[in-house]
Amino acid sequence: MKRQNQSMINEFILTGFSNLGDLQILLFFIFLLVYLTTLTANATIMTIIRLDQALHTPMYFFLFVLSCSETCYTLVIVPKMLTNLLSTNPTISFSGCAAQLYFFVGLACTNCFLIAVMGYDRYVAICNPLNYTLIVSRATCMHLVLASSFCGFLISVVVNVLVFSMPFCASNRINHFFCDISPVIKLGCTDTNLKEKVIFFLSILVLLFPFVLIFISYVFIVSTILKISSVEGQRKAFATCASHLTVVFVHYGCASFIYLRPTSLYSSDKDRLVAVTYTVITPLLNPLVYTLRNKEVKTALRKVLNRYSFPKTV
């Protein structure tokens, strides 16, 4: 009887913003503006780092990769969300939902690991500056980036298998604006308790473990900075870490609120607002923080603009 009450689902309906009525048009233009700004800001960061030799350092190499990853991350979520805001039938195919969840989780996990790697880079630069170029070599940078991506997408494979290997009940309505883990797994017909425990463990691995490592790194960093005799030296050292710390707290804070708790505590309205923050706002925040708070990036931006600006006409 249980099997007869199940149906083959070919597509899902994303009901994330459907209760807002005409406000969806306003949201469309707001999110479109933020999305285009995000693409422009990340493209600007990557272009500056690519063109300015002074930024060809491990710190900015990691920032370049993070900006590239964040751009791909928004491409997975935002275009489909914008399309659905204008649609009277906001659907996504079963395979499309699986692909969206796979790339979303893979890129999100990769970003978490990359931010932790950037913390390690700051630790070596401040606590062991004489051996910095030996420890954080070009080869090491590549290995750390590849390891972050490999681990991120390996975890994503596990999550996708857990979520989409179960049968789904007749309801195909996902109470969200994209295929996230909790809203999709709620549609399962079978007992999902074990799957949820495994996903929760993976969330701890991706969010809590790197955050603890970053915290330990900054304990050593602060201890080292406080030993610097000059106030100006301390200020410069803290300034190099400020941008990274801002990204750490926003990125890990939003993600932890959603994923470091049981699925039973999922609250659609509140969680949807937080999800907008980490899928739409945070990717814009990263390049803005590194541009506005970083003197080297602002100097490089001015140099690039002056180099490629049109000559003045007499």
Contact between residue 192 and residue 94 where contact means Cβ atoms under 8 Å apart: no
What pLDDT is recorded for position 262?
A: 65
Residue 190 lies in a domain: yes
DSSP for 88-114 reads SS-EEEHHHHHHHHHHHHHHHHHHHHH
* Range in 6-10, 44-48, 141-145, 271-275 the model is least confident about: 6-10
Q: How confident is the model at residue 111 (pLDDT cuts 50, 70, 90)?
A: very high
What pLDDT is recorded for position 1?
A: 40
More confident residue, 104 or 259: 104
Residue 21 lies in a domain: yes
Average pLDDT over residues 227-244: 79
What pLDDT is recorded for position 233?
A: 75
DSSP state letter for 188: B
Q: Domain count of the chain?
A: 1
Q: How confident is the model at residue 2 (pLDDT cuts 50, 70, 90)?
A: very low
Q: Hunting for tokens 């969680």 — which residue is that?
A: 271
Distance CA 199, CA 284 (A): 27
Q: Hunting for tokens 């080292």 — which residue is that?
A: 224
In our burial notation (b when 16+ CB lie closer than 10 A, e otherwise), range 280-290 reads bebbbbbbebb
Contact between residue 90 and residue 173 where contact means Cβ atoms under 8 Å apart: no
Residue 314 lies in a domain: no
| pLDDT tens figures, 59-78 | 889 989 999 999 999 999 99
pLDDT of residue 142 exceeding 90, the answer is: yes
Residue 130's alpha-carbon distances to 38, 126, 134, 234, 239, in angstroms, are 36, 9, 9, 18, 20
Residue 5 lies in a domain: no
Contacting residues for 200 by C-beta, under 8 A, at least 6 apart:
259, 260, 262
Q: What is the CATH number of the domain that holds 255?
A: 1.20.1070.10
Residue 3 lies in a domain: no
Note the helical H segments in the chain. 23-51, 58-85, 94-127, 132-135, 138-164, 181-185, 193-203, 209-226, 231-259, 268-276, 282-292, 295-308
Parent domain of 260: 11-309
Residue 4 lies in a domain: no
pLDDT of residue 39 exceeding 80, the answer is: yes
Residue 280 lies in a domain: yes
Residue 2 lies in a domain: no
Q: How confident is the model at residue 4 (pLDDT cuts 50, 70, 90)?
A: very low
* Range in 79-83, 147-151, 284-288 the model is least confident about: 284-288
What letter represents residue 300's amino acid? A
Distance CA 167, CA 308 (A): 57
Distance CA 173, CA 187 (A): 8
3-class DSSP assignment, residue 128: coil
| pLDDT tens figures, 195-225 | 888 999 999 999 999 999 999 999 999 888 8
